Chains A and B, each alone.
Chain A
């Protein structure tokens, strides 16, 4: 009896979480120039519109560039830092960990304001490289948390064995530990990419005229009437589902291989 009630409740809440997104699909498929539900006739017009409109394409390319750059940088910086955080002993360890993770917890608007003030002084507003670095900072917490978590669970005997067999410390790390870390790095790369790809508030403050995809959507939400935004939303959602599925598959394969016991980290 309680079970049945709970099941019904689960379905209800899950649909509250998911249902709104289903409405996007028919709305994006309308042939009309305005948002309408249900659509009177179906077409892919607004999907086409997205690829024809240079500003949408530019914004997408900018987001991809920044996203890839931020992912590579945060993955590199974050993994290096994780190795030190897990394996070295030093006094400021707790403080540094807190600083690396803080950008995830501190409200974006605080960071946005702080960066806007210094970027105006440094003439870095509207600079794509500076923006990429900022996105790398936003993505860093994910990499540090996941990679250092995975590293902490790592059985050092394998690397030690490599050392005993004559490999130098760097070689030993590259040939034994790095392959083990790969899945965690992959998972954190996906998270890092999405953290950058989805970032709005900080970008809104410091990007100047440069438009990333979220900024473009944000501008469009109040500037235009047509259903390009739902069409973009549907495409983004599909991309997210693919990203999440890939991430989940890699995580599970990793779990099977190393029999880690984490419940559901990704």
Chain B
């Protein structure tokens, strides 16, 4: 039962108009602003951003932070997923529910709790002092470490779930086959499950990496001066220095980075349609 084009157009119109007016047009405006000063094309803003040590360092920092956080999430998340894959379906649902629970709670609130925990007179420092482990309060808050902790806590559930989906896929079909051919559980894991689920984990990693690139709340609330990421710098250029063209160049760079990651993602998932949306759903 195929739809005729008039009906198709009508069905698509509201969402398309919404996306065109509030998404496509404005985003193209940003792209244009980065190379066009209102009267003519110019590479002024581009040159200013890429010749500035500050923007280069913050861009680098953003990518390094994103890579580090993604790495931590994968290393922490994969064993979690492996454990959950081995549970009975009932227990697995319960575990998934548990892992997803923080995912439903405002990022603002989750970040806020780390302020209470990591402060100089916060819960962790008080506990350390009470145990006699530290004489002086340790500076935990307003450090890059605090930002990493906050970001990992926010992103870990996504990575765990993408890893879980890919491990389950492999196990269902292949582990039985491997075992029936005489492989030990250890062999089955290292020779079958791990190599095959790695690509699934990688897709989770890419999503995590993309989300890291745009982080704003966590570095603002938990970071110190050297935790500023590109989103914060964009905010600074918009609201403090009023240099929108520079903000536009940075936003375009961020956009380009996101697209490159998406290309990698599509290359990895082209033949695995179940990932096309699965990992992104909350």
Contact = CB atoms under 8 A, between A and B. Distances in A.
A and B touch in the complex (CB under 8 A): yes
Contacts of A13: 76, 80, 156
Nearest to A194: B104
A264 B96 contact: yes
Interface string A75-87: 0111011011101
Contacts, number: 244
A7 B83 CA distance: 7
Given A110-B251, A236-B105, A21 B280 contact: no
A53 to B, nearest CB: 18
Given A117-B26, A146-B281, A20 B153 contact: yes
A77, A87, A114, A169 — most chain B CB neighbours (10 Å): A114
Nearest to A160: B1
Nearest to A265: B281
Contacts of A102: 23
A107 B213 contact: yes
Interface residues of A, number: 90
Contacts of A163: 1
The DSSP consensus for interface residues of chain B is: helix
A111 interface: yes
Interface residues of B, number: 83
Contact of B83 (A10, A76, A160, A263): A10
A17 B102 contact: yes
B195 interface: no
Contacts of B225: none
Interface of A: 3, 6-7, 9-10, 13-14, 16-18, 20-21, 23-24, 27, 35, 37, 73, 76-78, 80-81, 83-85, 87-90, 96, 99-111, 113-118, 133-134, 136-137, 140-142, 144-146, 149, 156, 159-160, 163, 169, 191, 194, 198, 200-201, 205, 214, 217-218, 221, 229-230, 233, 236-237, 240-241, 243-244, 248, 263-266
Question: Nearest 5 A-B pairs (CB), nearest first?
Answer: A107-B214, A114-B26, A20-B113, A84-B11, A81-B15
Interface of B: 1-3, 5, 7-8, 11-12, 14-16, 18-19, 22-27, 29-30, 33, 76, 79-80, 82-84, 86, 93, 95-102, 104-110, 112-117, 123, 126, 153, 156-157, 161, 164-165, 168, 210, 213-214, 216-217, 221, 231, 234-235, 238, 244, 247-248, 251, 254-255, 258, 262, 277-278, 280-282
7 contacts: A23-B116, A80-B12, A84-B11, A84-B12, A109-B231, A113-B238, A265-B278
Given A17-B99, A107-B254, A221-B108, 14 more contacts: A6-B79, A17-B102, A20-B113, A27-B116, A85-B12, A90-B5, A109-B235, A113-B30, A113-B244, A115-B26, A117-B33, A137-B23, A194-B104, A240-B104
